[in-house]
Amino acid sequence: MMKAGSYAFGLYLWHWVLLSFYQYHFEDNPDLFVGTAIIIISFVFSWLMTEFIETPIRSMDMGKKSVYVLGSAMVLTLSLIIGLYSYHQSTVTNINGEYLQEDYPGALVIDEDIKVEQRDFIPSFAQAKEDLAESYEDGYIEAKSSNTLNIGEYGVQKDYEHAIALVGSSHSAHWLGALQQFAEEEQIRILNMIQVSSRFSTEHEEGTPQKEWNDKVIQYLNENEQDIDLVVSTADIGNTDFQEPPEGMVEQLNLIGDEIGLPVMAIRDNQRFGFNIVEHFAYGAAKLP
């Protein structure tokens, strides 16, 4: 009994890792077979960890065998991490327009009364947090501690017919992909000006990076208003306690429209909730018949 009890801590550690891994990648609760397999694998890993890592360290008896096993375990763990990451990257869904229109019509169901069968989510719940705008990978996203106006150019960059300035926080950055969908066809240049964790607003205090960044955006729009046709931003309503955009954000957007003279499309943003929305839907979907 004491011998089995010595593996309890390792069993606790490993079962949670394996269970989380399964739910992350398969978006479902394990059935009896999978649950039993997780327990067995957890016990095997716990035994290996206890016998060849924990016990030798406690007794300070790190013989050649233990060192060999410990080194092998580290190599195996690293290989497993690399393998899982490679597998995850290879399963990222490649979405194209035709695929979306036929199987995932989106808002078209409202206008065209399309009936669709229940399908897998795109991106999957496991991939949702990594489904970021291209500007993140390109480095055209500024931190709130930076006052640098780093402008990314997308769409048609030469001989374009129209230009759109995408301005604001990370919530505005989410709309880059949607704009890119029609930018090439409509000959549109997209100017990406994003500072994360910071509202596009007049409410920032003087001397702060957020205030300086906002001022630089306004200055750029003012100096280049002849070459910009539309400013796209978000009307952030914050958490569920607020139903209207903050006053400072409204003032900033009105400044662009009234004083600079550029048309503004402010997209009403989603509310913030006190729970992880992706996980909420993931567990909810697992219970669907």
Q: At 284, which helix (H) or strand (E)?
A: helix 277-286
Position 274 in a domain: no
Does 124 map to a domain? no
Res 285: pLDDT? 53
Does residue 257 sit in the same domain as residue 169?
yes
Cis peptide before 123 (omega within 30 of 0): yes
Mean pLDDT, all residues of the chain: 81
| 253 and 150 fall within a common domain | yes
Is the pLDDT at 3 greater than 80? The verdict is no
In a domain, 212, yes or no: yes
Instruction: Answer yes or no: do 162 and 258 share one domain.
Output: yes
Which residues are 191's β-sheet partners? Answer: 153, 165
Is it the case that residue 103 has pLDDT exceeding 80? no
pLDDT band at 95 (very low <50, low <70, confident <90, very high): very low
Q: In terms of domains, do 146 and 242 share one?
A: yes
Three-state SS for 28? coil
The answer to whether the CB of 177 falls within 8 A of the CB of 123 is no
Domain boundary among 30, 60, 90: 90
pLDDT at 2: 44
Same domain, 49 and 152: no
Highest mean pLDDT among 42-46, 135-139, 270-274: 135-139
Check residues 178 and 129 and name the one with the higher pLDDT: 178
The string of DSSP letters for 204-220 reads SPTTSHHHHHHHHHHHH
Domain of 212, CATH number, reads: 3.40.50
The answer as to whether 183 is a domain residue is: yes
**Assigned domain for 50 exists:** yes
pLDDT at site 154:
96
Residue 91, pLDDT > 60, answer: no
Structure tokens at 111: 């206008």
For the beta sheet containing 264-268, the strands, ordered from the edge strand earlier in sequence to the opposite edge, are 152-155, 188-194, 162-168, 230-235, 264-268
Assess whether 6 and 72 both reside in one domain.
yes
With b for 16 or more beta-carbon neighbours within 10 A and e for fewer, the 224-257 pattern comes to: eeeebbebbbbbbbeeeeeeebbeebeebbebbe
Residue with tokens 């995408």: 166
Does residue 149 register a pLDDT over 90? yes
Evaluate whether residue 127 is within a structural domain. no
Question: Poorest-confidence range of 115-124, 150-159, 163-172, 204-213?
Answer: 115-124
| Residue range of the domain that includes 214 | 133-268
Whether 256 has a pLDDT exceeding 80, the answer reads: yes
The structural domain count of the chain equals: 2
pLDDT over 50 (residue 98): no
Instruction: Please check whether residues 179 and 256 belong to one and the same domain.
Output: yes
Average pLDDT of the segment spanning 75-91: 73
- Bridge partners (DSSP) listed for residue 162: 188
C-beta of residue 208 within 8 angstroms of C-beta of residue 195: no
pLDDT digits (tens, 9 = 90+) for 15-47: 888 888 777 666 567 888 888 988 899 888 888
Q: Please state, in angstroms and rounded to a whole number, the distance separating the CA atoms of residues 100 and 106.
A: 8
Cα–Cα distance measured from residue 281 to residue 220, given in angstroms and rounded to the nearest whole number: 41
Q: What percent of the chain is predicted at pLDDT more than 90? A: 36
What is the C-alpha separation between 281 and 284, in angstroms, rounded?
Answer: 5
Distance of CA 90 to the CA centre of its chain: 17
pLDDT given for residue 214 in this prediction: 96
Domain membership of residue 286 (yes or no) is: no
What is residue 235's predicted lDDT score, i.e. its pLDDT? Answer: 83
Instruction: Kindly state whether residue 276 falls inside one of the protein's structural domains.
Output: no
pLDDT digits over 68-77, tens only? 766 777 787 7
Q: Is 53 helix (H, G, I), strand (E, B) or coil?
A: helix
Do residues 49 and 162 both lie within one domain? no
Instruction: Determine the Cα–Cα distance for residues 260 and 190; give it in Å rounded to an integer.
Output: 19
| Each residue's pLDDT tens digit, 227-242 | 999 999 988 766 656 6
